[in-house]
Structure formats: structure tokens, C-alpha cells
């Protein structure tokens, strides 16, 4: 198992997500409504046609009635869960976050919280186009779309790790650390001030309260890992991730984000 600290630092800096596109406004309760904002019609030859929804990371900027604007990030996972976060720019207000499950029906993406539909989007060739709660188009925002962006798993360097057989990769900062998990071999944990990673036997994860829990030992050293399917930012780049990772190395706590490459922790291949 090889670690390349310099490569990953370069990747983190280099892989910036493009600036988000303008989006329709939503209220802080998660429901859509009209606002006094006007929009400029954008002429385009591209047809706004229905298409299949692709889970992933979507982002954009939304007009705001009492702040500069709202930065929206939404992560849709393949297990039909989602996490959406609105941050208010130019206003002292806590971010608004909602989590739940998503489903698609009749070319619509629906976001449900406690089995109640909170938002609806038309899934089109131009992106996710927000609809009213009844599913009707919002003429005021007819040229606004939520667009899919790169997430951690899309990173080219990590795709190379996938080809090498790495199943799960995680990283964090303050202090900086890296973890690679190969279900056929071992788990490696590297700290920024270490020249070599600490290597532990792979142990099958136990599922507890929606988390994947791993406890492994090597001699007197211990590594405890908790992987949670949840929206996560590494704090160093514009990449976003599918999983939060909390671990303890010899009792010292570390936190960061994780990327599923070949699969989640689980039984070794036969």
C-alpha cells in the first residue's frame, strides 16, 4: 500500500468546483414560493427536455429577500437519501439543513422529510428545475437550474486508487491525515508528521445506527473507525463527499470525510 502525501495535497488544491449557477429561491422551511425578484430570460438553443436523474452533488446560488444571496448545496446518494444545506450570505443567520429521502416519478425529483414532500424538481437536460409544491412550473424562475458538480469520488487521482483496489478512502485536516481501506489486505492510517502509515488488519465492519463501525488492533496500537453516510466537506477545497468519518488512533480523535471507491466496508470477497 503506497501513500503519496504530495499528490493528494496537489489534488485537493487543484480540483476546484466551477462557480455555481443561479437558482430559484426557496424559503428556510424548505418550501418554494414566489418572491419579488425578477429574472432575465436567457436565450439558448439547447432544449430543456426531461431526462433521467443522476444522484450526486448539486449546487447553486439562490436569490434572497433579506440577504445578499443563498448558497445551496445538495447531495443525493445512491441509497435514496439526501442532505441539503442553505447558507445565507451577507446575513448573520445559521445555515438551514434538511435530510431525508428522494424519489423520482413522472420526470420529477421529490425530496421527502418524514414522508412529507418538501421540494419538487423537474429533471431536465439543463439540470434540476425547481417546481411549486403542487408540481407546477414557476414562471419567475423558468431559466434557473440546479447543476451537478464534482464530488470527492469523481476525483481522477482517487479513480487511480480505485483501480489499485482501494475500497474506501478518507482524509481530514487539523491535523492532516489520510486513510486507505483495502478489504482484501489492510487499513492504513497516515498522519501528516509521519513518514510511514500505521497499518492494521482489515476487520469486517459492524452496522450500528446507520453507521459502519470498525475496531482493529495491531500489537499495542488501536484504530476505531465510524463511517456515516452524510453530507461532508473537507474544509480545504470545493469537493464534497458522501460520508463523514470519525476515527480514534490510540485514543486520539480525528474527523474528516470519506469516498467510496470499490465498496463500503463489509465482508471480504470469497
Structure confidence at residue 265 (pLDDT): 63
Domain 18-149 has CATH 2.40.128.640: yes
Structure confidence at residue 182 (pLDDT): 93
Contact (Cβ atoms closer than 8 angstroms) between residue 189 and residue 177:
yes
Q: How far apart are CA 34 and CA 63, in angstroms?
A: 11
Residue of 117, 254, 232, 67 lying closest to 178 (CA atoms)? 254
Structure confidence at residue 28 (pLDDT): 38
Q: What is the pTM of this model?
A: 0.59
pLDDT in tens, the chain (270 residues): 444 444 444 344 334 434 444 433 433 333 333 333 333 333 444 567 888 998 888 888 877 778 888 788 888 877 898 888 888 998 889 988 888 999 998 889 999 999 999 999 989 888 888 888 888 887 656 677 788 876 666 667 777 888 888 999 999 988 899 999 999 899 999 998 888 999 999 998 998 888 999 999 999 999 999 999 877 877 666 677 888 999 999 999 999 999 888 866 654 444
Structure confidence at residue 199 (pLDDT): 97
Contact (Cβ atoms closer than 8 angstroms) between residue 59 and residue 72:
yes
> Three-class SS of residue 14?
helix
Structure confidence at residue 46 (pLDDT): 56
Contact (Cβ atoms closer than 8 angstroms) between residue 228 and residue 247:
no
- The DSSP symbol for 56 reads E
Domain with CATH 2.40.128.640 in the chain: 18-149
Structure confidence at residue 266 (pLDDT): 53
Amino acid at each position: 500500500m503506497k501513500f503519496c502525501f504530495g499528490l493528494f495535497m496537489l489534488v485537493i488544491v487543484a480540483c476546484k468546483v466551477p462557480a455555481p449557477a443561479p437558482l430559484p429561491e426557496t424559503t428556510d422551511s424548505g418550501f418554494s414560493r414566489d418572491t419579488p425578484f425578477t429574472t432575465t430570460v436567457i436565450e439558448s438553443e439547447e432544449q430543456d427536455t426531461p431526462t433521467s436523474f443522476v444522484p450526486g452533488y448539486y449546487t447553486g446560488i439562490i436569490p434572497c429577500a433579506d440577504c445578499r444571496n443563498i448558497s445551496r448545496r445538495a447531495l443525493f446518494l445512491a441509497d435514496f437519501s439526501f442532505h441539503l444545506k442553505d447558507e445565507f450570505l451577507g446575513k448573520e443567520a445559521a445555515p438551514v439543513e434538511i435530510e431525508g429521502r428522494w424519489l423520482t416519478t413522472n420526470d420529477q425529483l421529490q425530496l421527502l422529510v418524514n414522508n412529507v414532500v418538501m421540494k419538487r424538481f423537474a429533471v431536465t437536460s439543463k439540470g434540476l428545475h425547481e417546481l411549486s409544491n403542487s408540481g407546477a412550473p414557476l414562471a419567475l424562475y423558468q431559466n434557473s437550474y440546479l447543476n451537478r458538480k464534482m464530488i470527492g469520488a469523481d476525483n481522477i487521482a482517487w479513480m487511480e486508487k480505485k483501480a489499485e483496489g482501494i475500497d474506501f478512502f478518507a482524509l481530514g485536516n487539523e491535523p492532516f491525515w489520510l486513510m486507505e481501506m483495502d478489504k482484501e489486505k489492510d487499513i492504513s492510517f497516515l498522519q501528516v508528521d509521519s513518514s510511514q502509515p500505521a497499518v492494521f488488519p482489515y476487520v469486517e465492519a459492524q452496522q450500528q445506527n446507520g453507521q459502519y463501525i470498525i475496531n482493529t488492533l495491531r500489537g499495542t496500537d488501536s484504530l476505531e473507525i465510524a463511517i456515516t453516510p452524510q453530507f461532508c466537506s473537507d474544509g480545504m477545497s470545493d469537493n464534497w463527499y458522501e460520508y463523514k468519518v470519525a476515527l480514534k488512533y490510540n485514543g486520539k480523535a480525528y474527523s474528516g470525510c470519506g469516498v467510496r471507491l470499490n465498496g463500503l466496508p463489509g465482508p471480504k470477497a470469497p
